[in-house]
A and B are shown apart, each in its own frame.
Chain A
Amino acid sequence: MSLAVKAVGIRKSFGSHEVLKGLDLEVAYGEVLCILGPSGSGKSTFLRCINHLETPNGGYVWVDGAIMGYELNRGALQELPVKRLRAQQSQLGMVFQHFNLFAHRTVLGNVIEGPMVVRGLSRDEAEARAMGLLEQVGMAAKASAYPSQLSGGQKQRVAIARALAMEPRVMLFDEPTSALDPELVGEVLEVMRNLARGGTTMIVVTHEIGFAREVADRVVVMIDGEIREMGAPQQVLSDPGDPRVRSFLSRVLA
């Protein structure tokens, strides 16, 4: 299996607060990796460092043959101009906890925005492809609705379609179901399950242990800015070696 993402020694501090303490991670193409961990352990920050929404204070992230935000130049990392960084970022689809849909655009408008503005697709072409994606997430019937008219589950499915529209190499999910009413969680997980079955490479921060057990190829448990456990879901979830991981899991599984 060839590598899609390789994070090397990622460190991140906010002020004097060290949130990430040197994380290493490799994700292969077609793999689904779930990141679990208590709230405040740095999961979101790690995901945001991977796609450079946050600039790491140390280490770097290699995605599909290039280092995010930098160019290797005579042994040093030379920061890239913003336009090239954005081109790299569009290789990574991001789904946020709070959806972050464009409030002034319809469902269809949200999905065609990236392809039209960044990829330069014609409106017709972008719309045709967007409708296909909305079909895939079961939102085609709502194409002309505005985000404010949708339920949380519907918003998140549109947000997934919007990210997919850029044809990213890897999809990142930051607690995609945490802001949803319980009865709406299932429809979003179903869409994600289908993506995983279709071979999409995914890094998913989640509290849905059931989803991780069923869909993940590997599970990572983060505590206090460190990876404390990594491995196959059955092994990590049922027989963790680390005592802090064991106590975290016993709390979420209870």
Chain B
Amino acid sequence: MPHLPHHSPAALPLIDLPGPDVTVRRLRHPGRWISGGIVLLLLAIIVRAFAVGQIQWTVVGQFLTAGVIVTGFGWTLLISACALALGVALGFAFGIMRLSENPILRFAAWLYVWIFRGTPVLLQLLIWFNIALVFPRLYIPGLVDERMVDVVTPFVAAVLGLGVNEGSYLTEVVRGGIGSVDRGQKEAAHTLGMTPGQTMRRIILPQTVRLILPVLGNSAIGMLKFSSLAATIAMGEMLNAAQRIYFINGAVIELLFVCAVWYLAGTTVLSIGQYYLERHFGRDAATATSDRRGFWAWARRPAARGEA
């Protein structure tokens, strides 16, 4: 059967083909413009509502740099930093214990995670703050013998509460990081004659840091925000300072907004730091495909699971 050329009204004869420089018109996306317009409109409505609402913006500006607030923010930063340091130390200690050959050490680490990850951090803060009710005196022979209320100040309670709680999360992260370094490298280290301690310090832990770092960035951001819970145990950090001011002058929402501005500033700085830290540690070795998209693209990435 002869092969007949197929003719349809849509067929484009060769003779009508355009030249190589033909103009290309992109498909229009009217839907995107419409949805974008709606969102912008809603944003404008919200902004206007706050602008004309019952807020005295001059008061916000006035208290933004007030001495008490700035000092409070200093305490916020100090609590966060100390608690994060404590959390990291505990996370590594218990994370390593979690994988110990010794079943009792493994159990102790499991118990730690079970208790401190299984109860609300606010509750833990309140318990640390009131620990003197259980142990009126802190007595370690030859070292300390003082009233508990003098030792566990609101600051100490805040650092303990937030740090011990964070440590229970980081324990699991460290455990996962250690587990992800393949067993072969550990065996190679052993055949070179490296002791378990040397292998952990020089081979395993350096490789887990890269995995743990992004989590630590999220921890730092979360910690900055969670430190506001210390306001409930009479710790004079920023939120507590703001509350003490608005109890007197009644500018409740203004002072809360002042806090929001400072927290946002803090978390933004931490996000930028996290970006550069990750980029620095991602640069060498294994993760060869380094992230060159720049900070803003990175910042708008979908949030990681568990990001606070």
**Shortest Cβ gap from A202 to chain B (Å):** 15
When chains A and B are docked, how far (Å) is the Cα of A87 from the Cα of B284? 32
B273: interface (CB < 8 Å): no
- A99 vs B188: C-alpha distance when bound (angstroms): 9
Residues B196 and A96 in contact, CB atoms below 8 Å apart: no
B288 touches A149 (CB 8 A): yes
Q: How many residues of B contact A (CB 8 A)?
A: 23
Q: A117-B202, A146-B285, A148-B285 are contacts. A100–B187 as well, Cβ < 8 Å?
A: yes
Question: How many whole Å from A110's CB to the nearest CB in chain B?
Answer: 9
Q: Which residue of A lies closest to B186 (CB)?
A: A100
Knowing A87-B193, A114-B194, A117-B198, say if A96 contacts B285 (CB, 8 Å): no
Assuming the contacts A100-B185, A117-B198, asked whether A166 and B285 have C-beta atoms less than 8 A apart, the reply is no
B286 at the interface (CB under 8 A from A): yes
Question: Which chain B residues border A133 with CB–CB below 8 Å?
Answer: none
B→A interface (CB under 8 Å): 182, 184-185, 187-196, 198, 202-203, 206-207, 210, 284-286, 288
Q: B202's contact among A86, A113, A146, by CB below 8 Å, is which?
A: A113
- Is B203 within 8 A of A102, CB to CB? yes
Interfacial chain B residues near A232, Cβ < 8 Å: none
Binding site for B on A (CB under 8 A): 51, 53, 82-83, 86-87, 89-90, 92-94, 96, 98-104, 113-114, 117-118, 146, 148-149, 159, 162-163, 166
With a cutoff of 8 Å between Cβ atoms, the chain B residues found around residue A113 in the complex are 189, 192, 194, 202-203
What residues on B are CB-neighbors of A101 within 8 Å?
185, 188
Q: How far is the CA of A118 from the CA of B210 in the complex (A)?
A: 25
Q: Could you list 22 examples of A-B contacts with CB < 8 Å?
A: A51-B191, A83-B195, A86-B190, A86-B195, A90-B192, A93-B191, A94-B191, A102-B189, A102-B203, A103-B286, A104-B210, A113-B194, A114-B192, A114-B194, A117-B192, A118-B192, A118-B194, A146-B284, A148-B285, A162-B188, A162-B192, A166-B192
B210 cross-chain contacts in A, Cβ below 8 A: 104
Chain A residues with Cβ under 8 A from B190's Cβ?
53, 86, 89
How many angstroms between the C-alpha atoms of A51 and B192 in the bound complex? 11
Majority secondary structure of chain B interface residues (helix, strand, loop or mixed): helix
Q: Which of A96, A117, A118, A146 has the most CB of B within 10 A?
A: A117
Q: Determine the chain B residues whose CB is within 8 A of the CB of A104 once the complex forms.
A: 203, 206-207, 210, 284-286
> Residues of A contacting B185 with CB < 8 Å?
100-103
Knowing A117-B202, A148-B286, A148-B288, the reply to whether A166 touches B193 (Cβ < 8 A) is yes
CA distance A127 to B182 in the complex (A): 26
Distance to closest chain B CB from A214 (angstroms): 27
For residue A183, give the distance in angstroms from its CB to the closest CB of chain B: 23
Write the chain B residue with the least CB distance to A168: B191
| Bound form: Cα–Cα A96–B191 in Å | 11
Which of A98, A114, A149, A159 has a CB less than 8 Å from the CB of B193?
A114
* Docked-complex contact B187 and A82, CB < 8 angstroms: no
Q: Which residue of B lies closest to A166 (CB)?
A: B192
Question: With the chains together, A98 CA to B182 CA distance in Å?
Answer: 11
Asked if B284 contacts A96 (CB within 8 A), the reply is no
List the A side residues contacting B203 at CB < 8 Å. 102, 104, 113
Q: Which 9 A-B pairs give the minimum distances between C-beta atoms?
A: A90-B193, A100-B184, A114-B192, A94-B191, A100-B188, A118-B193, A86-B193, A146-B285, A103-B286
Please name the residue on chain A nearest to B207 by beta carbon. Answer: A104
Given A89-B192, A104-B206, A104-B285, 19 more pairs with CB closer than 8 A:
A51-B191, A53-B191, A86-B195, A90-B191, A92-B191, A94-B191, A96-B187, A100-B184, A100-B185, A100-B188, A103-B207, A104-B286, A113-B189, A113-B194, A114-B192, A114-B194, A117-B198, A146-B285, A163-B192
